[in-house]
Structure 1
Amino acid sequence: MFREGYPFPDEDTHRYIPRRKRRREPDSDGVQSARILAGYFARPDAVPDELADALHEVYPIFDHHDLIAGAIPAQDHERARRTGRWLVRTAMDRCAVRVGLALLGAVGEPEDIPVIQLIGLLSKVFGPLSAHAVERIATGPEALIWLAERVTGWGRVYVVETLCRLGDPGANRWLLRQAVDGDYLNRYFAGEVAMAAGLHEVLDEFEHDPELVEHTGRLLGVMAESECMGMTLEHYPHAAAVIEAHARHA
């Protein structure tokens, strides 16, 4: 069964990694993409569709990279926004779309959030960059929660980890009640959710919040099987208190 948007329209050109892409130096993904962008911005007459073929020839970026933002001239943010929007909305190759997301993650505006969310639904490929872009642009957790509720697998890992970084009460409330969806990849973030959202600090809410109780049971179950993937109950410092409180209300 296909998940996370597969197969993509450009699948035929991404079935293997060309030899030139395998010769990868440390951070070469960001370095090469940033070099291409710098050349693009140095030419006032360059158009965004020129980037698509060039970006396909180098090792793709997967996550936020400061070098991409650094390639944008200080006086050229509007052009960078237009370029990012064009790449995300129009480019036919995932490598170019990733760079478009990175540009919007650097200089995007609130009006860009819906299209970033939409492309972020193809979450295994675009999840990390979409989550970072929404995190930077949005003023609250709602846009990220919208995305988290609609992605699975690795995409959910990326977005949940981003929500954990926010330290936002609204994000924490969602994390403690809905983050775990039953996928085995939940093991990567279950312990992070418990710690970042302060599960041990809301145990008194078990009395009147069955949703919190039910999700805590799932969270503890995942952590019990998270060895070699994420934090286990053995290493969760509040395990005894949480398990005891949960047992009283389950």
Structure 2
Amino acid sequence: MSAPHERSTLAPSLFAYARDLRRAETGGPRPEGGHPLPDSARPPRPRRVGRDHHEARTAVTDVLLSLLADPDGQRAAVEAHRAIAATGVRDRTVFAAAAALPPPDDPTDRARARALGRCLTRDGTTTVSVAAGLGLLARLGEPEDVPYLRTLGVLQGLHREVVTTLTPLDRRTAAFVGLIHRVRGDELRALVGALAAEDAEAVRDRFLEIPTGPRCLGPELARQVAEAVGLAGLLRCDPDRPGLLAQAVRTLVPMTGLRGYEAEILRYEEAVALYETVAAHAHRLPRDLDHRAALVSLALDLHSGAGHLLAWAEGRREELLDTLLAVVGDPDDPTVVTPGNPAARRRADWIRRTVRQLRTARRFSTDRREGPVGTPRLRIEVAVADPAEPDVVETRFLIDGRPLVPEAFGRGPGDTPERLLDGGGLRAAPEPRDVRLAEAYCTEGCCGALYVTVRREGAHVVWDGWRRPRALSGLPELPAYRFDAVAYDAEIARAETDQGWTWPARRTARLIAAGLRDRPERLTRWGLRQGWIATEFDAPDTTVVTFTGPPLTTDGTPEREGEPRQFLWRVPDDGTPPEEQAAAALRRLAEGDPRRYPELRG
């Protein structure tokens, strides 16, 4: 970066570069994913051998702290650019270090720090200087900064930092910037174009055209679309517009889903308003399978998902849940299923099971007699996602009616019932046991998991010793929960034997796994080790049995050297009772080496 009077022969600021690109966009096509940065935006970085992430952040922090109170913002910005560039630190580290600085207490120093952030953001010629300015404005920004941030947001490479800085100032503009860099397909490009032109009528029309069926919108993209178009207000003002209510429902449902790193429904500020409006008009939706499934998904979220944790007025969440279930109506109604359509049959079966679960759970929630007064009540339920979405089956824990995992972890769903319930994983004994309750969407090795220690202590079962990633911030401290031991044991026994959530292929998988737990020699006799056993991710009517071991040579004997291989044996549901299918599979495993099965894939 250089002072404005020094820049006549140098590269323009990134803000000026982005502003010129925006002006040239008028009436023309908008590039997917935003505009690339100029070549000069990332000059070669000096090499810093042996510097770790902590040292890098400390170096940037020291530079900024020494300049925050400088009364000459331009001079301070020039010095900040020079010093930060000399550290060789990456953009994201610079942004994180600047955003972590506490705002000065003194109003004059606070104004000077804000002025430094604005100079770096508006006059910076490299990504590191602009990132430093964005980090300062993440805490010090004001509404007047929004147009500048919106303009910078068209550039690739800095849009995540721009979105973070914009979010507390103007969530709608932040969502628009996020959409610029996630546009895929003509319909979303048209919506972004209408948003850029600030044409309200065109925004509504283009919103109605974007694909919102199963697997079309992920949770984060759905939230960004809803925020960018002002969906709650749009529906509230015009609920009778053809297609708008259904499109709103199809946009709300993914935000409640589990295919993401955060509970997007909790990040959507207008979630309560949209839920209220959808529930008020849900009776107008066609009574077809898609709409009934969507309403069941919303009801499931209100009952035991992240949506339960929204800022509901006393009793209002329960009223909306009951309203949605009433609109769904009789779960056994056969008229909504197309004969001969297996996918429709699966969804109809899921609706039937889930509605029954929810109605049973509603009866439980009004019964306050379980356990002594003053002890927390534990309820364990298995939640299954709409089969039209990727197969997600999670164990949910409600303590005094509140869902534990989205409140205490939020990075992913609860573990599967096969891991937690089958085999007695949650049973309490005097010897403490560490139990993983949930895993991050991306896997534990990446973003961690939620662990608790379970032990029996006299007349109580205690959950304490919580472990979760240190990087998670803003989450509540978790207490030690002391459950009445008699009530706890009864709830674990009920959850372990509950089959109301399952379907035939999943039931077959659980029975096969139980048979191998009882007699592991069915696999070990062949030199094989059991892996996961569940249903196919994209084919829920197929049971998958996995195991590892050495592959067979051409003469049919196991290889003596080399790495073990994972094998997958798929068992499609043939319509016979799961007990018979599981018994047949276990007999076959006992009678011959499964590596010779023709339907096996290694």
Instruction: Tell me which interval the TM-score lies in, with the shorter structure as reference length.
Output: 0.5 to 0.7
- Worse overlay, 109-118 or 71-80: 71-80
SS in 1 for 2:180: coil
**Take 2:49 and 2:34, find their aligned partners in 1: how far apart are those partners?**
24
Residue matched to 2:176:
146
**CA shift in 2, pair 1:11/1:35, >3 Å:** same
Matched, 1:133 2:169: no
**Take 1:57 and 1:223, find their aligned partners in 2: how far apart are those partners?**
49
Residue matched to 2:285:
208
Please state how far the C-alpha of 1:42 moved relative to its aligned partner.
Answer: 5.2
TM-score normalised to the size of structure 1? 0.59
**Take 1:65 and 1:220, find their aligned partners in 2: how far apart are those partners?**
42
Residue matched to 1:177:
251
Is the Cα contact below 8 Å between 2:71 and 2:112 reproduced in 1?
Answer: no
Q: 1:81 aligns with which of 114, 119, 124?
A: 114
**CA shift in 2, pair 1:151/1:221, >3 Å:** farther
Please state how far the C-alpha of 1:23 moved relative to its aligned partner.
Answer: 1.8
Please state how far the C-alpha of 1:72 moved relative to its aligned partner.
Answer: 4.5
Q: 1:35 aligns with which of 59, 62, 73?
A: 62
Is the Cα contact below 8 Å between 2:120 and 2:133 reproduced in 1?
Answer: yes
The superposition leaves residues 177-207 of structure 1 with CA deviations (integer Å, 9 ceiling, x where unpaired) of 2998xxxxxx646x84467667xx6688496
**CA shift in 2, pair 1:111/1:67, >3 Å:** closer
**CA shift in 2, pair 1:116/1:5, >3 Å:** same
Residue matched to 1:117:
150
Matched, 1:8 2:38: yes
Is the Cα contact below 8 Å between 1:98 and 1:129 reproduced in 2?
Answer: yes
**Take 1:192 and 1:231, find their aligned partners in 2: how far apart are those partners?**
8
**CA shift in 2, pair 1:196/1:130, >3 Å:** closer
User: How many residues are treated as equivalent by the alignment?
Assistant: 213
Please state how far the C-alpha of 1:19 moved relative to its aligned partner.
Answer: 2.7
Residue matched to 1:98:
131
Please state how far the C-alpha of 1:222 moved relative to its aligned partner.
Answer: 10
Amino acid of the structure 2 residue aligned with 1:100: G
Please state how far the C-alpha of 1:208 moved relative to its aligned partner.
Answer: 3.3
Amino acid of the structure 2 residue aligned with 1:57: A
Q: 2:82 aligns with which of 53, 59, 62?
A: 53
Identity %: 16
Residue segments in structure 1 that go unaligned for 5+ positions in a row: 181-186, 241-250
SS in 1 for 2:36: coil
SS in 2 for 1:112: helix
SS in 1 for 2:125: coil
**Take 1:92 and 1:101, find their aligned partners in 2: how far apart are those partners?**
13
SS in 1 for 2:48: helix
RMSD, matched Cα: 5.1
Higher strand share: 2
Higher helix share: 1
Please state how far the C-alpha of 1:112 moved relative to its aligned partner.
Answer: 0.4
SS in 2 for 1:70: coil
Residue matched to 2:362:
none
Residue matched to 1:20:
48
Please state how far the C-alpha of 1:82 moved relative to its aligned partner.
Answer: 1.8
**Take 1:3 and 1:21, find their aligned partners in 2: how far apart are those partners?**
34
Residue segments in structure 2 that go unaligned for 5+ positions in a row: 1-30, 184-217, 236-247, 295-384, 393-410, 417-500, 502-602
**Take 2:388 and 2:49, find their aligned partners in 1: how far apart are those partners?**
37
**CA shift in 2, pair 1:30/1:194, >3 Å:** same
Amino acid of the structure 2 residue aligned with 1:47: A
Amino acid of the structure 2 residue aligned with 1:112: D
Larger-gyration structure (1/2): 2
**Take 1:176 and 1:126, find their aligned partners in 2: how far apart are those partners?**
30
Query: Which structure has the higher relative contact order (CA within 8 Å, separation 6+)?
Result: 1
Alignment map for 1:157-176 (pairs within 5 Å) = 170=232
SS in 1 for 2:38: coil
Residue matched to 1:248:
none
SS in 1 for 2:168: helix
TM-score normalised to the size of structure 2? 0.28
